[in-house]
């Protein structure tokens, strides 16, 4: 039996198991075009869902999440990462990660593949399927792009505020994920399935302050965030990590190194 915290059936174990088995069986990512670097892993995920008979709709390239299931109120957002390379965080264009969207539970699929590849088929190195709340538990924020006109010497230039969010990956958040296939879901999920077993408990704690706005000085090129106290400061969100039975028992735990420190180096490089 596999159910979410509200008692509804969930597909997460079925989806995770098919990914894990496919990697163990050596099912490769197939590159369709060398010009299209972003969607090879996404195509691999879609093919694995087809193989398992998990009915889904594939969204357009700019929609969210990448796959919505037909028989469950769930969706899967796919993030392929070249490895070794940038692994502490990823860019989320105009979309804040979260575990709910339009009434659906959202899971994220992070897969790493070799960075230096000359062939048109290559393996998935490791993979994490995680509930979106593991990345961010706020379901209330709604992203909107805004703009204003009047910039420039003639006053006819438009300034568009198109936000990009940089979020940590589960490879940065959790120890024990390298070289493994791992499922991370809220601890309140009921998972009684002989195909998987728990390998660790992880707790993420809400921050003391929340960012509710920011201002940008166009003369000084200075960005200033606006904070308010978080009414849920100190609230603990409990998660549990699972692995397929018979595929090792490497423990998974929350990384002790501050994620902010891990992300800082990449953010500074991007700004330069």
Q: Are 220 and 197 in contact (CB under 8 A)?
A: no
Is the confidence at residue 107, as pLDDT, over 70? yes
Dihedral sign, Cα of residue 268, residue 99, residue 138, residue 172: negative
Q: In whole angstroms, how far apart are CA 178 and each of 29, 30, 108, 199?
A: 19, 22, 17, 14
* H or E segment to which residue 83 belongs: strand 74-83
Residue 138 to residue 169: CA distance in whole angstroms:
17
pLDDT in tens, 192-208: 999 999 999 999 999 99
- Residue 34 binned pLDDT confidence (cut-offs 50, 70, 90): low
> Residue 97: phi, psi to the nearest 5?
-65, 145
Per-residue model confidence as pLDDT tens digits over 158-177? 999 888 899 999 999 999 99
Per-residue 3-state assignment (H helix, E strand, C coil) for 97-119: CCCEECCEEEEEEEEEEECCCCC
Residue that wins the pLDDT comparison between 144 and 198: 198
- Report d(CA 136, CA 85) in Å as an integer: 23
Per the DSSP assignment, residues forming a β-bridge with 198 are 242
Query: Are 209 and 227 within 8 A, CB to CB?
Result: yes
Q: Are 31 and 40 in contact (CB under 8 A)?
A: yes
Q: Which one, of 117, 59, 107, 58, lies nearest residue 85 by Cα?
A: 117
**Contact 241/199 with Cβ under 8 angstroms?**
yes
Tally Cβ neighbours within 10 Å of residue 164: 10
- Structure-block tokens of residue 37: 């670097």
Which pLDDT belongs to residue 247?
Answer: 86
Asked whether 68 and 75 are in contact (CB, 8 A), the reply is yes
């Amino acid at each position: 039996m596999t159910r979410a915290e509200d008692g509804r059936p969930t597909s997460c174990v079925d989806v995770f198991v098919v990914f894990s088995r496919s990697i163990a069986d050596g099912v490769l990512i197939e590159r369709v075009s060398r010009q299209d670097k972003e969607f090879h892993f996404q195509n691999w995920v879609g093919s694995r869902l087809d193989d398992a008979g998990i009915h889904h709709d594939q969204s357009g390239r700019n929609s969210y999440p990448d796959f919505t299931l037909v028989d469950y109120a769930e969706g899967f957002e796919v993030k392929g990462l070249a490895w070794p390379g940038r692994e502490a965080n990823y860019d989320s264009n105009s979309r804040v990660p979260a575990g709910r969207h339009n009434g659906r539970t959202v899971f994220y699929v992070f897969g790493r593949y070799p960075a230096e590849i000359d062939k048109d088929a290559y393996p998935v190195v490791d993979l994490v399927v995680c509930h979106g709340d593991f990345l961010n538990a706020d379901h209330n924020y709604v992203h909107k792009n805004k703009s204003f006109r009047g910039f420039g010497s003639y006053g006819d230039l438009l300034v568009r505020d198109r936000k990009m969010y940089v979020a940590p990956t589960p490879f940065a958040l959790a120890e024990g994920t390298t070289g493994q296939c791992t499922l991370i879901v809220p601890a309140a999920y009921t998972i009684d399935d002989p195909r998987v077993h728990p390998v660790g408990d992880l707790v993420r704690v809400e921050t003391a302050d929340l960012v509710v706005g920011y201002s940008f000085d166009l003369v000084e090129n200075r960005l200033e965030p606006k904070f308010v106290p978080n009414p849920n400061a100190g609230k603990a969100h409990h998660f549990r990590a699972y692995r397929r039975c018979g595929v090792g028992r490497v423990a998974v735990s929350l990384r002790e190194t501050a994620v902010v420190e891990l992300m800082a180096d990449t953010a500074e490089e991007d700004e330069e």
